[in-house]
Amino acid sequence: MDEFANDISRHVWQSKYRFAGDGAREGGIADTWHRVAHALAAVETAPATWELRFFDILDGFTFLPGGRIQAGAGTARHVTLFNCFVMGPVEDSIRGIFRSLEEGAVTMQQGGGIGIDFSTLRPRGTRAKAAGAVASGPVSFMQVWDAMCGTILSTGARRGAMMATLRCDHPDIVEFVTAKRRPGHLSRFNLSVQVTDAFMDAVRADKDWPLVFPEATLDGDDGEMVMRHWPGVDVSVECRVVRRIGARELWDLILRATYDSAEPGVLFIDRINKMNNLSYREHISATNPCGEIPLPPYGACDLGSLNLTRFVEAPFTSKARLDDERLQETARIAVRLLDNVIDASRFPLPDQAENARGSRRVGLGITGLADTLAMLGLRYGSAESLEVAANTMKLICHAAYRASIELAHEKGSFPFYERDKYLAAPFIKSLPADIRDSIAHNGIRNSHLLAIAPTGTISLLAGNVSSGLEPVFAESYERQLLDENGEPQPFELTDYALALWREMNKTATGQPDAFVTTAELKVTDHLEMQAALQPYVDNSISKTINVPESYPFEDFKRIYDLAYDKGLKGCTTFRPNPVTGSVLSETGAMGSDLGPHCCTPEREAD
């Protein structure tokens, strides 16, 4: 029996995850799973026992570790097993900038995507107090990173993924949000604006908004001063108001840019920091390239996803159900596997190793949610689907936290753990009393445990199950992936759940009643699903809200208001446009369609 459901699954394995080197060549996916299980169990005191348990959850694509784990574990190659990193603060000097560039290059060369906050760089046209040199601004230096990423690619390293963020009160924010209106400009970056609560208040009150920068680095001493918590500084600093802009004017500019060119995204940065389990010791101003892991300077993301389709019993029947007990047990083993990644991995930089080993952050997530709902007879976006999805995520969340507590009892808590401060975190306070009491008594192994990633590549590996929590894109569609020579190769695909239903019913056409695609959903259905799961995710969620090309701009703006009001940590949308085009198109369709822009197998950090 073929272990791959379709040609694209085999292609993904062969081109991205199959190990062939040092005299070894994996003959099938089972060999890959044995390699990964063996490598990650090696850090255990009883490695043989845990190798079997790890293999059991990997076999059959039940648990899907992040791509760097699959590609690197057990190969002895000088690579990292972490998908992505957030880099340290970029020092506002030529030496500091190029030191940060070097750190980014080293990280990407070893296989990690990167996120960078460019807010520390002086705005264009200002003079430095020390040297008197005129600054060219953060966007100009982003072009240097973009060129570096392309150069790393040309050396044969895996393709790069980068996230750039900028504060909403940085004087160059307008240049930043409009930077990608030009096709091909900064093409290796995803962009996100750090939006504060104060800015949202100013937008809604139609107030002026000050654009500021730390006074200590600017020439002259005239002008209005305000206090701000600035990245790279542990305390609030005096900032000079460089100029003012209408808050609504800036907000409309941000949203018009993403309406027209699919970027930038928005990070509700105050909420991210307020809900951070480690807010007592770190400040976050950036995320990994797809946004599901907000990270401090030199933070790393250690990702894996539970394939929910593998837990459905009697699919497409009146007896269809999710095997909750097996799901929770798999989640517990997956937490241990991801925790072991921290000890088994190499790190490009010492600071990254220190942060990862100090916090032991992991990001256990899900994939195949939309297919699972269809298999259970539930329409994506319906009230019942939201309830089932939320309850499922709650089960995973609580199972993960209990597993981490058990690990702490066995192996010790993460080094940055401070009991009373940790227990005071809002997310921890929302957990059941027995979990909080157990943390107080035993500690906890991992500071964070949950994240929902886009999973485009690993979902293809698992037979083209629906990606992450995204709805099904289309019944059938064409997807292009790069081959080993970097050339695009087209694949005709049918959604996993739909293919299974047709196989069960011995038909080449038709679909189950509950099956629904992106084009049939309301925009609010996307938001409602993300909002339903967010209370049980301590990191964040990567979600692209697909918007039809004809969607009115005024309605589009309301998406972001709703996202903010529903307590989301960020918002990313995609509307078909001539700048980004699309990597997905429905079979027979012409031109661009509703494909996502950043969370695709050709852009995500696989």
> Do residues 152 and 105 touch, judged by C-beta distance below 8 A?
yes
> Do residues 189 and 260 touch, judged by C-beta distance below 8 A?
no
In angstroms, the CA 573 to CA 5 distance is 30
Q: Are strands 113-117 and 84-86 parallel, antiparallel or unpaired?
A: parallel
Q: Which residues neighbour 400 within 8 Å (Cβ) at sequence distance 6 or greater?
A: 331, 332, 334, 335, 364, 449, 450
DSSP readout, 316-379?
Answer: TSTT-EE-HHHHHHHHHHHHHHHHHHHHH-B-SSHHHHHHHHHH---EEEEE-HHHHHHHTT--
Q: Are strands 162-167 and 113-117 parallel, antiparallel or unpaired?
A: parallel
Which tokens hold the place of 423? 């227990």
Name the active-site residue from 288, 446, 539, 546.
288
Name the active-site residue from 84, 239, 290, 301.
290
Name the active-site residue from 263, 292, 470, 604.
292
In angstroms, the CA 225 to CA 228 distance is 10
- Name residue 450's beta-bridge partners: 364
Which ranges constitute the DSSP H helices of 128-246? 138-154, 173-177, 197-205
Count of CB atoms situated within 10 Å of the CB of 369: 27
290 included as an active-site residue:
yes
> Do residues 204 and 279 touch, judged by C-beta distance below 8 A?
no
> Do residues 585 and 519 touch, judged by C-beta distance below 8 A?
no
Q: Which residues neighbour 336 within 8 Å (Cβ) at sequence distance 6 or greater?
A: 50, 403, 407
604 included as an active-site residue:
no
- Which element (helix H / strand E) includes 261? helix 247-261
> Do residues 28 and 3 touch, judged by C-beta distance below 8 A?
yes
Q: Which one-letter amino acid corresponds to residue 348? A: P
Count of CB atoms situated within 10 Å of the CB of 563: 23
Q: Which residues neighbour 130 within 8 Å (Cβ) at sequence distance 6 or greater?
A: none
288 included as an active-site residue:
yes
Among candidate residues 384, 406, 404, 392, the one with its CA nearest the CA of residue 325: 392
Which tokens hold the place of 303? 């990702």
SS3 content of the chain, % helix, strand, coil (to 5): 40, 20, 40
- Name residue 307's beta-bridge partners: 367
Number of helices (H), then strands (E), belonging to the chain: the values are 21, 23
**Cα angle 375, 568, 303; round to 5:** 60
Among candidate residues 253, 106, 230, the one with its CA nearest the CA of residue 167: 230
For 28, 573, 587, the CA distances from 598, given in Å and listed in that order, are 30, 10, 21
- Residues acting as catalytic residues: 288, 290, 292
